[in-house]
């Protein structure tokens, strides 16, 4: 316990050295900070990032029109409804996901700034991406991974990622679920002097901006206009943030940003008993809601992933709906991709159903699949953990207890999450992290409005409501 307390007490100084950034220079008050200044502090332009990524074998992934999926949706949509559906196939990246874009920038920074290696804390695709990019750059790599519950049983997707990271030459430090993940990462950062390849650093999130920019450019080339809607699988917020920023940089200012998560309400992400009953290790509400309503819970002093700034809508889907769509994508489009990346695909099918023919919906990423990540493997494992798996009405899905796979595509019906409620939660969290008795000033109000994608008047209303109890 004393060792834990000692390391955690020094987390600020450890992370400052491991990130190569002094976040204090961006602070403006106990509430506000210079977000755009922080995002630009690494000094890389969008064109610089493109060049870095192309040299690293990242980016330039194909945009595919899913004509058969579109036809399927139109077969049960109302007259004139059923938007065209496209997908950006990020599984074509080096390690098989969009997170190669994040990792490529962290590895480039580590090399340019003279670090001998990198460390990342992750259970999934990001670890593989960091390990892959580190191998290309000749850097040492350590991946800290929550792998097992207390019975030493690991979810097949996570165990597969361990194997993949090791195949790329990384050292994988496996742990059981709990608070020790961040503690051990801090210890290793201090011992090794390596760079923290955080998911939430400005250079990591900036690496995703190329994805949004490519989407806009690809769609203009294919259809003559940017997409009307982009659906993004949402977890910690970097995917939504980076994609939205890239779209705006490319001029797609009217494109609607729709985030999507698997509904895992009722499951606790740090629970030993729930750890192996959730099927999805990312892209779910267990990360999506807490990180959106308080992004600075991350391992960095100020999180570059601030998804509420960019969300126009937040949809949730059930586990069974995602598994159904994963199978449909394989059978109808010849794309066998991982379930987590298909969270947005399930939401996109539901969204396209309600939109007119001339609307265009882009699912902005796919992920590779394999033995442990495959949806059949995930469902078999769920059954082993006592979860009931059956066909029927997905509305009967109960996270951790029952996975109901739809019998017909028209049963896929994403649900809107209350963005107003999330914005209110964010403001409450921001106020609660300020010193007791602190009164927000006009600059704080403007910052909170920007961070929640609202107006200063709306923020002032929320603060007044919170004060009234």
Q: Where are the domains of the chain?
A: 2-51+97-202, 58-95+205-416, 424-468
User: What is the chain's mean pLDDT, rounded?
Assistant: 95
CA distance 258 to 220: 19
For position 46, what pLDDT does the model report? 97
Three-state DSSP at 382 gives helix
| Lowest mean per-residue pLDDT among 147-151, 424-428, 445-449, 461-465 | 147-151
Q: Which residues are registered as beta bridge partners of 120?
A: 143
> To which residue do tokens 């801090």 refer?
186
CA distance 353 to 79: 11
For position 250, what pLDDT does the model report? 97
Q: Exposed/middle/buried for 190, CB within 10 Å: 0-12, 13-18, 19+?
A: middle
CA distance 24 to 57: 34
CA distance 226 to 36: 24
CA distance 362 to 378: 26
CATH domain 58-95+205-416 topology? Rossmann fold (3.40.50)
Residue 192 in this model has a pLDDT that exceeds 80: yes
Q: Do domains 2-51+97-202 and 58-95+205-416 have the same CATH topology?
A: yes
CA distance 161 to 132: 12
> In the chain, pLDDT over 90 holds for what percent of residues?
86
Predicted model pTM: 0.96
Residue 63 in this model has a pLDDT that exceeds 80: yes
In order of 56, 139, 203, 341, 371, the CA distances from 105 in angstroms are 9, 13, 6, 21, 29
State the sign of the Cα–Cα–Cα–Cα dihedral 212, 144, 138, 91: negative
Residue 459 in this model has a pLDDT that exceeds 80: yes
- Within 385-455, residue ranges assigned H as helices are 419-432, 442-452
The pLDDT tens digits for 280-330 are 988 999 999 999 999 999 999 999 999 999 999 999 999 999 999 999 999
For position 216, what pLDDT does the model report? 98
Question: What average pLDDT score do residues 4-33 get?
Answer: 91
> To which residue do tokens 């004393």 refer?
2
Q: What is the DSSP string of 212-264?
A: HHHHHHHHHHHHSS--SEEEEE-SSSHHHHHHHHHHHHTT-TT-EEEEEEE--
CATH number of 2-51+97-202: 3.40.50.1100
Checking DSSP bridges between strand 415-416 and strand 313-317, what pairing results, if any?
antiparallel
The pLDDT tens digits for 342-361 are 999 999 999 999 999 999 99
């Amino acid at each position: 316990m004393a060792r834990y307390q000692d390391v955690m007490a020094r987390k600020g100084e450890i992370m400052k050295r491991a990130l190569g950034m002094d976040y204090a220079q961006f602070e403006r008050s106990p509430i506000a900070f210079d977000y755009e200044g922080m995002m630009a502090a690494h000094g890389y332009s969008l064109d610089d990032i493109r060049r870095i990524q192309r040299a690293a074998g990242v980016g330039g992934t194909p945009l595919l029109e899913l004509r058969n999926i579109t036809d399927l949706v139109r077969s049960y949509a109302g007259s004139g409804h059923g938007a065209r559906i496209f997908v950006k196939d990020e599984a074509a990246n080096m390690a098989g996901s969009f997170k190669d874009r994040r990792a490529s920038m962290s590895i480039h920074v580590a090399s340019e700034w003279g670090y001998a290696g990198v460390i990342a804390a992750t259970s999934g695709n990001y670890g593989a991406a960091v390990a892959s990019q580190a191998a290309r750059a000749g850097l040492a790599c350590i991946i800290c991974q929550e792998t097992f519950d207390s019975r030493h049983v690991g979810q097949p997707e996570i165990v597969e990622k361990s194997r993949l990271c090791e195949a790329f030459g990384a050292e994988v430090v496996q742990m059981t679920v709990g608070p020790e993940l961040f503690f051990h990462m801090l210890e290793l950062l201090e011992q090794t002097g390596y760079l923290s390849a955080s998911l939430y650093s400005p250079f990591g999130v900036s690496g995703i901006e190329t994805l949004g920019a490519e989407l806009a450019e690809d769609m203009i080339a294919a259809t003559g206009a940017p997409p009307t809607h982009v659906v993004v699988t949402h977890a910690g917020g970097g995917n939504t943030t980076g994609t939205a920023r890239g779209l705006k940089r490319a001029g797609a200012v009217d494109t609607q940003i729709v985030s999507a998560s698997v509904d895992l309400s009722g499951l606790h992400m740090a629970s030993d008993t729930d750890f192996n009953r959730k099927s999805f290790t990312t892209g779910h509400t267990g990360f999506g809601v807490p990180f959106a309503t308080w992004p600075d819970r991350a391992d960095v002093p100020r999180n570059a992933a601030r998804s509420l700034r960019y969300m126009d809508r937040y949809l949730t889907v059930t586990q069974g709906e995602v598994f159904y769509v994963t199978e449909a994508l394989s059978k109808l489009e010849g794309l066998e991709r991982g379930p987590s990346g298909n969270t947005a695909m399930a939401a996109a099918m539901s969204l396209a159903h309600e939109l007119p023919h001339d609307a265009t919906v882009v699912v902005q990423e796919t992920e590779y699949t394999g033995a442990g990540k495959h949806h059949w493997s995930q469902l078999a494992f769920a059954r082993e953990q006592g979860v009931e798996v059956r066909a029927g009405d997905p509305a009967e899905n109960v996270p951790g207890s029952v996975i109901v796979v739809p019998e017909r595509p028209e049963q896929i019906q994403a649900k809107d999450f209350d963005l107003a409620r999330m914005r209110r939660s964010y403001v409450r969290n921001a106020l609660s992290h300020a010193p007791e008795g602190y009164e927000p000033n006009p600059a704080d109000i403007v910052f909170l409005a920007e961070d929640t994608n609202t107006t200063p008047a709306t923020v002032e209303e929320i603060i007044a409501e919170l004060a009234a109890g």
